[in-house]
Amino acid sequence: MAMRNAYVDQFPAEAKVIKAAFWSSFLALAIGGLLGLVQALHRTDVVRFIDSADYYTVLTAHGVLLAITFTIFFLVGIFTWAVTTSLERGVVDTRFTWSWYAMMVVGTVLVGVTIFAGFLEDAPEILGAPLNADVLFTFYAPLQAHPFFYVGLVLFVVGSWLAGVDWFRTWWAWRGENPDERIPLPTFMVLTTTLFWYICTFGVALSILVFLLPWSLGIVDSVNPLLTRTLFWYFGHAVVYFWLMPAYMMWYIMLPKLSGGKLFSDPLARVVFVLFLLLSTPLGIHHQYLDPGIAEGYKFIAMTNTMFLLLPSLLTAFTVVASMEHGARQRGGEGYLGWLRALPWRDPVFTGMALAGLMFAAAGFSGMINAGMNINYLVHNTWWVVGHFHLTVGTAVALTFMAAAYWFIPQVTGKALWNRSVALGQVLLWFIGMTFMSNAMHRSGLFGMPRRTAEPQYSGFEFEPAAGTVGEINAQVALGAVILTVSLALFLLNMVLTSFNGSSDAIPDNTYAGTLSGPEDAPEILDNLKLWTAIAIVLVIFAYTLPVASIVENGGLFGPGIEGQQLTLVPDTATVLETVREVMP
């Protein structure tokens, strides 16, 4: 019998932590995904079984559980795999690894309990404040959450910082043993991503620890909402790339291998990750184009930085497609496009990742609309934006992670995947469901349908779609959400039943793609992490010093007496109608 060489055989202790991180991620995905269906059916008025006031509790839980918990738990699992596999050594101390994982779990539980307490009729008072956090994913002041929400976020983020320390320690230990070696590509990707995570989370840490948490505890009376909002977006766009980098890593080091070939260019991949380290953070103000109090010039700089960031994504598209073509030709594919037929479409890992990449291309186009200062005004705060990020984090990231799980769960458990055909159907259903949902969301944004609204149906006012009808668009969203939920259920079923499988000897070896052009072709300066980090910090200083100084000068460090507010809905139809008539006679 051939000797099995799966990840669990090479690194059994690390495999346990990774498995725990993956299951934490899947649990968040299950709850958050189900809440997504509730929202889609409620907003479109297909089925309403929650109060509209509770919609915002659901929305907060959906956003936090999926955009933060699901993505980052999966990320820490995949990055731990990448570092240990590519350095061919375990982490320095597994107890440290378990400790950061535990810290992230405690943070998640605190945040989760605080959010879900919002469903209670009478939320318990703890520390002198009602336990709830209906503040949505962005927790903009003056909306105020219970202190536990902010403490939970801090614990989660500090846990992820310690995970970064773990990866760096492992790399330093390896470097001591291999002083003349280039950083292996997967570890290089992990380290550069971790560095910009440290840079960008500094903003949100400052916002929470200096302003929002003391404010929620009553230590300070007021905050400056524009300042905390700007600090949020200092982090808020870079976090998008934090989710995305593990997906990029999978596309670079797994897709070529699954295609049957090698990565086209290791140096180009390093350039891409260096560009993300440099440019991920100094552009968050592009989320604030409509915020008064930030001069247009600063917004223009943020737009320019954002457009520069298209370059690494285009380089990635080129490199990954070239690698897939190389793989397909190794498998006998021929012709200008005929090679596509030689790709392993039966493999759900490959197909899921390839379709996720395809959807990401569409997301890039709608992202350019968001990033353009003038055209952003058309879609700002509309459902278009929701359609956009369901293509990015909801497909490019989530679908890649689910597809990757079909490879990783057997690797970390030693158990064969329960059903490959169901897995293939699952990734195709996700692609189809997201097509319906995100297309309708984008279209409705074009005629101004707002996001973050429980009931976007207004008396005496009709939206005017450029194509189709509002009813048809709502039906498309509801249909898409149902298909996505079925897809999610199939994914979870496959994961659960795989974990009940017995140990298998048929698990593929734990390897990743080789390269056609390897690290020896990459200039050594690319591995100079100190240099790139220093430049990244300088760029952040250039982009943010003057806008932040201006915000503080105009509004004060702690704002002009802004008191916290809990999100409430008063079911007074007459008042609502009167307000609507005032703005839309």
443 sits near another protein (criterion: CB under 8 A): yes
337 sits near another protein (criterion: CB under 8 A): no
- Select which of 270, 388, 442, 443 is catalytic: 388
- Select which of 451, 491, 512, 544 is catalytic: 451
- Select which of 4, 119, 452, 463 is catalytic: 452
Catalytic residue status for 581: no
Residue type, 237: H
Report the C-alpha gap between 43 and 437 in whole angstroms.
Answer: 13
Of 29-37, 87-95, 411-419, 425-433, the segment contacting another protein by CB under 8 A is 425-433
Minimum distance of another protein from residue 434's CB (angstroms): 9
Binding residue (CB under 8 A) for another protein from 44, 84, 351, 444? 351
439 sits near another protein (criterion: CB under 8 A): yes
**What φ, ψ does residue 132 adopt, rounded to 5°?**
-160, 170
Report the C-alpha gap between 254 and 320 in whole angstroms.
Answer: 10
Minimum distance of another protein from residue 474's CB (angstroms): 12
- Select which of 237, 287, 326, 443 is catalytic: 237
Radius of gyration of the CA atoms of the chain, in A: 24
341 sits near another protein (criterion: CB under 8 A): yes
Tokens of 261: 């070939």
Residue 163 burial by Cβ neighbours in a 10 Å radius (0-12, 13-18, 19+): buried
Smaller CB separation from another protein, 439 or 457 = 439
468 sits near another protein (criterion: CB under 8 A): yes
467 sits near another protein (criterion: CB under 8 A): yes
390 sits near another protein (criterion: CB under 8 A): no
Catalytic residue status for 237: yes
Judged by DSSP in three states, 258 sits in helix
448 sits near another protein (criterion: CB under 8 A): no
Residue 177, CA distances (Å) to 87, 170, 185 in order: 11, 11, 17
Q: Is the dihedral of CA 102, 108, 111, 115 positive or negative?
A: negative
Q: Residues 249, 80: contact at Cβ < 8 Å?
A: no
3-state SS track over 322-388: HHHHHHHHHCCCCCCCHHHHHCCCCCHHHHHHHHHHHHHHHHHHHHHHHHCHHHHHHHCCEHHHHHH
Catalytic residue status for 196: no
Residue type, 135: V
Site residue total, another protein (CB under 8 A) = 26
- Per-residue x/- mask for another protein, residues 19 to 58, rule CB under 8 A? ----------------------------------------
Q: Residues 54, 221: contact at Cβ < 8 Å?
A: no
Q: What is the H or E stretch that residue 275 is in?
A: helix 266-279
- Select which of 139, 389, 436, 512 is catalytic: 389
Minimum distance of another protein from residue 432's CB (angstroms): 5
Binding residue (CB under 8 A) for another protein from 106, 321, 432, 552? 432
Of 162-170, 192-200, 344-352, 549-557, the segment contacting another protein by CB under 8 A is 344-352
Binding residue (CB under 8 A) for another protein from 424, 481, 529, 540? 424
**What φ, ψ does residue 290 adopt, rounded to 5°?**
-100, 5
Smaller CB separation from another protein, 214 or 344 = 344
Peptide bond into 142 cis (omega under 30): yes
Q: CB neighbours (10 Å) of residue 121?
A: 4
Binding residue (CB under 8 A) for another protein from 140, 318, 345, 542? 345
Judged by DSSP in three states, 39 sits in helix
370 sits near another protein (criterion: CB under 8 A): no
Of 71-79, 94-102, 197-205, 436-444, the segment contacting another protein by CB under 8 A is 436-444
Catalytic residue status for 420: no
Of 9-17, 70-78, 108-116, 466-474, the segment contacting another protein by CB under 8 A is 466-474
Minimum distance of another protein from residue 433's CB (angstroms): 10
Catalytic residue status for 389: yes
Tokens of 543: 């982009």
Smaller CB separation from another protein, 51 or 472 = 472
Smaller CB separation from another protein, 164 or 327 = 327
Judged by DSSP in three states, 126 sits in strand
Smaller CB separation from another protein, 140 or 345 = 345
Q: Residues 149, 135: contact at Cβ < 8 Å?
A: yes
Judged by DSSP in three states, 482 sits in helix
Minimum distance of another protein from residue 38's CB (angstroms): 24
Tokens of 156: 């989660």
367 sits near another protein (criterion: CB under 8 A): no
436 sits near another protein (criterion: CB under 8 A): yes
Terminal CA-CA length for the chain = 79
Report the C-alpha gap between 218 and 268 in whole angstroms.
Answer: 51
Q: Residues 231, 206: contact at Cβ < 8 Å?
A: yes
Minimum distance of another protein from residue 475's CB (angstroms): 8
Binding residue (CB under 8 A) for another protein from 94, 381, 435, 550? 435
Task: Please tell me what DSSP assigns to residue 118.
Answer: G
Residues that bind another protein (CB under 8 A): 260, 331-332, 341-347, 351, 355, 358, 362, 424, 428, 431-432, 435-436, 439, 443, 466-468, 472
Q: Which residues are catalytic?
A: 237, 241, 388-390, 451-452
